[in-house]
Amino acid sequence: MAKFLPALDDRLMAFIRAQRMFFTGSAPHSGRVNVSPKGLDTFRILSPVRVGYLDLTGSGNETAAHLLENGRITFMFCAFEGPPLILRLYAQGRSVQLHHAEWKELRPHFGPPMPGERQLVIGEIETVQTSCGYGVPQYAPDGERTQLTAWATHKSPEELDAYRREKNAVSIDGPSTGWRSAE
Q: How confident is the model at residue 179 (pLDDT cuts 50, 70, 90)?
A: confident
Statement: residue 182 has pLDDT above 70: no
3-134+143-167: which CATH architecture? Roll (2.30)
pLDDT reported for residue 141: 87
Region 155-175: mean pLDDT is 94
Statement: residue 183 has pLDDT above 80: no
Q: Which DSSP letter does residue 31 get?
A: S
Statement: residue 125 has pLDDT above 90: yes
For residue range 145-155, list pLDDT tens digits in order.
999 999 999 99
Calculate the CA 78 to chain-centre distance.
15
pLDDT reported for residue 1: 77
Spell out the alpha helix ranges (H) of the chain.
10-18, 62-69, 102-106, 147-153, 157-167
For residue range 22-67, list pLDDT tens digits in order.
999 999 999 999 999 999 999 999 999 999 999 999 999 999 999 9
pLDDT reported for residue 160: 94
For residue range 79-123, list pLDDT tens digits in order.
999 999 999 999 999 999 999 999 999 999 999 999 999 999 999
Domains of the chain, by residue range, sit at 3-134+143-167
Contact 157, 163 (CB under 8 A): no
pLDDT reported for residue 29: 96
Statement: residue 181 has pLDDT above 90: no
Amino acid at 123: G
Q: How confident is the model at residue 180 (pLDDT cuts 50, 70, 90)?
A: confident
Nearest to 89 by CA among 54, 61, 131, 30: 131
